[in-house]
Chain A
């Protein structure tokens, strides 16, 4: 405490307060001036846009948030969902999905698919964004690039149904041997390696998009690095790309089907993966749509939002390691874990987000079988949690293995994965007394450990590349590089071969039904959930298409409508 408090009317203090007031005013002025100067400076380096509002009827503009920056937009080398979403708007393949998720003509106006190959007749009015026509050669060039080992495209396997693609990709054949050629500028001939039952669905995928050779060569290694380093043939064109900050798509005036495109501009001036920030932006009226997490449900109900939901197609599960030195190679141990796994509890209590479905099978519920839903035609064997039976299996496992050491559960660092892993740890400990050691790793380290087999269990997920059960069905084939636990079962391999080579829907679906049975009866993995998406969207924005496979969300068919 002050020994002698200053007298109340100390002239020094009074003068000082006056002075400080002046100083404060000066400070504010200086601060404002500096801000103005910096704002001007920053408008030179980038950004420079006004405050964005969600929907502008006059200019037919919508504003959105982008979860992540696309690494690059060279379609021959893309791997991630964000890139495919943007590419799906600015590019067009031979065939595309329409608003009701049916395959419709894209650049190709008609096509013919035979057991040994396919022919595509390209439409006359398909144009690049510089006005020049899209030709068959652009597809040949792009597809060769994808499988060219020098291009090192990680998704090259998606073209393996094309003749010689795999051999080229593994350097046994030159690129020119790829089974695709331009008969004329408007006719594309494709030869298959073997029969493919779903080539039309494959062709809609981003890796099959065209690339024009002269433009590609003129950009060198910068192709796809910036808005100006890319040529567009889709409904939209990218007109602005400030890295990490801003992506803007505008209607492509050269697009052949431009009359059906209603939006003029899709502006994405916010790049953040933080759902809280995105929801704040939506609340603030800055963006037209956003996804919701479990932590925003309360708020969404309070604000009386209209919510939508859909399944995004991905299934999540816990994979086991089948290397012989691992305890998880013992079927009784796996069965014990399977019998205490309650995916309904995980989804209902822990994830607690509408739209998520409890996992029951490797094949998610949205897949189509021969006629109706695959799940109705081939219901998966039901595993009901049964702790007594689980303990019996555990006892057998203990006899066979001796003492069971703590199991390592590998997981990544996303919030839901963490929740899931902590839940499993407690579940197995509580019900079976099995100690689980969590191994939480950042993305690349987790992948490395998965590949080298440094785990007992790993929380994993699989998203569909095309709308056919095979996108899930071949995952545990002994030759599949994504079978990281090295599961090997000749019976399953045989079924995968049937599904891959047959063209008869019944035979193929029977094979998938068998695969599903084997996966569950052999306790090859523990299904966790099928991912759902919950979102909120401004009522004025209509016709947005959400998909399990393909561009998602798709604004190509969207329009604005002023609500009364």
Chain B
């Protein structure tokens, strides 16, 4: 187990190195000039800026410096926010994205399990059809449309009530988080509902359920202990990647609801060619994904004895 963990961690480190390198290469092959400005600047000012960001050195040296400071956990100073460190940006804005992501996944998982179980129980009857229809909507409408409609619905709801039930945008309190996390979790919830449904149906046909029924176990017990518990397993396995994917994929919701998450920073940084922020964010997110995957694998091996960690 220990050996396996160490091996996985080493692999993880190598992966992070690969991500860093890929980002560096992509970044430096981008056409355009990160130091260009609306007002034309003189050669001297340009040189000063290049010096400040180390852009005057050969690329290979820049790469070395980048890797070195990355090892020390320092991503340098932002190009556009000239006196903020990328580390500060990540420290301040990642928790927002993570909060949003965790909430969204929680919502998606709870909803997915509930709806999935219901559709399986009411297979091919009205509740199933209705929920399936909603799920289909959930996966087939682009997220930015859902987000914009969600915000609009909120405005109309508040207007109808005459009292601001929930804020329309912004971040800070509990009430700010509800609608964005619902919107963000919708796609995943739809996916989990489908997964849960098929998993429930598969298990309903399993031998051990038939045996349990034959033994005359109370239906409640069969459902809870045998069917639901076993059906949830596949859902649980996808949660880890889902958290990571949602946390790193919340751009749209962050943009529409004016949420100060890291994703929004990344989009602006790309438009501004803010080298350090782009590289810092990408490497950080990459490392976050890698750690999540390793953690889930280890956890899974620990929960499910059938899984052998090599």
Interface status of B140 (Cβ within 8 A of chain A) = no
**Contacts known (A45-B95, A442-B271); A242 close to B260, Cβ less than 8 A:** yes
- Chain B residue numbers with a CB within 8 Å of A415 are none
Q: Is the CB of A13 within 8 A of B32?
A: no
Contact A72/B114 with A14-B219, A243-B92 known, Cβ cut-off 8 Å:
no
- Identity of the chain A residue whose Cβ is nearest the Cβ of B158 in the assembled complex: A284
Q: Which of B48-74 contact A (CB under 8 A)?
A: 48-49, 52
- On chain A, the residues within 8 Å of B223 by CB distance are 12, 15-16, 19
How far is B84's CA from A222's CA once the two chains are assembled, in angstroms? 7
A155 at the interface (CB under 8 A from B): yes
B245 within 8 A of A: no
Q: Across the two chains, which residue of chain B brings its CB closest to A150?
A: B48
Is the pair B260, A447 in contact by a Cβ cutoff of 8 Å? no
Q: Which residues of A contact B92 (CB under 8 A)?
A: 45-46, 242-244
B130 adjacent to chain A (CB < 8 Å): no
For window 205-256 of B, CB contacts with A under 8 Å fall at 213, 218-220, 222-224, 228, 255-256
Q: Which of A42, A49, A244 has the most chain B CB within a 10 Å cutoff?
A: A244
Q: Inside 8 A of B176's CB, which chain A residues have their CB?
A: 47, 51
Q: What are the interface flags for A6-32 relative to B under an 8 Å C-beta threshold, 1 for contact and 0 otherwise?
A: 100001111111111001100100110
B172→A49 contact, CB < 8 A: yes
- List which A264-299 residues lie within 8 A (CB) of chain B: 269-272, 274, 276-277, 280-281, 283-286
Q: Which of A33-41, A357-365, A369-377 contacts B (4 or more CB under 8 A)?
A: A33-41
Given contacts A71-B81, A246-B172, A442-B271, contact A284 B95 (CB under 8 A): no
Tally of contacts, chain A with chain B, CB under 8 A: 253
- CB atoms of B121 and A16 under 8 A apart: yes
B12 at the A interface (CB under 8 A)? no
Stretch binding the partner chain, chosen from B18-26, B102-110, B291-299, B300-308: B102-110
* Cβ < 8 Å to A, chain B residues 170-227: 170-178, 213, 218-220, 222-224
Q: Is A443 an interface residue (CB 8 A)?
A: yes
In the complex, which residue of chain B has the Cβ closest to the Cβ of A74?
B83
A6 and B172 form a contact (CB under 8 A): no
Minimum C-beta distance from B203 to chain A (A): 13
Does B270 make an interface contact (CB < 8 A)? yes
Interface status of A385 (Cβ within 8 A of chain B): no
Q: Could you tell me the distance between the alpha carbons of A35 and B176 in the complex, rounded to whole angstroms?
A: 11
* Chain B residues closer than 8 Å to A481, beta-carbon distance: 40-42
Complex CA gap A85/B38 in Å reads: 18
Q: How far is the CA of A276 from the CA of B258 in the complex (A)?
A: 11
The interface on chain B, measured as residues whose beta carbon lies within 8 A of the other chain's beta carbons, has a size of 86
Least CB separation from A225: chain B residue: B83
Residue B148 is within 8 A (CB to CB) of chain A in the complex: yes
The residue that B84 contacts in the complex, of A13, A43, A72, A442, with Cβ under 8 A, is: A72
**Across the interface, which residues of A come within 8 angstroms of B121, CB to CB?**
13, 16-17, 20
> Across the two chains, which residue of chain B brings its CB closest to A242?
B260
Instruction: Say what secondary structure dominates the interface of chain B.
Output: helix
Cβ–Cβ contact A270 & B155, under 8 A: no
Identify the closest chain A residue to B271 (Cβ).
A442
- By a CB distance below 8 angstroms, the chain A residues around B31 are 445, 448
The answer to whether B83 touches A72, judged by C-beta atoms less than 8 angstroms apart, is: yes
Give the residue of A36, A47, A276, A442 whose beta carbon is less than 8 angstroms from that of B171: A47
Residue of A79, A242, A270, A482 near B40 (CB, 8 A) is A482
Interface check A5, CB cutoff 8 A: yes
Say if the beta carbon of A157 comes within 8 Å of chain B.
yes
**Which B residues touch A47, using CB under 8 A?**
96, 171-173, 176
- Other CB < 8 Å A-B pairs besides A42-B99, A149-B45, A280-B155, 14 of them? A2-B123, A6-B123, A13-B122, A16-B223, A27-B114, A74-B83, A149-B44, A245-B171, A277-B151, A280-B151, A284-B164, A285-B164, A442-B32, A445-B32
Q: Which 6 pairs between the two chains have the least Cβ-Cβ distance?
A: A481-B40, A47-B172, A244-B260, A445-B32, A272-B258, A447-B36
What are 27 A-B contacts with C-beta separation under 8 Å?
Answer: A16-B117, A19-B228, A20-B114, A20-B117, A38-B102, A45-B96, A46-B92, A46-B172, A47-B173, A52-B167, A69-B81, A77-B82, A79-B39, A151-B48, A152-B48, A152-B49, A225-B84, A242-B260, A244-B264, A245-B171, A277-B169, A280-B154, A447-B38, A448-B36, A451-B36, A481-B40, A482-B40
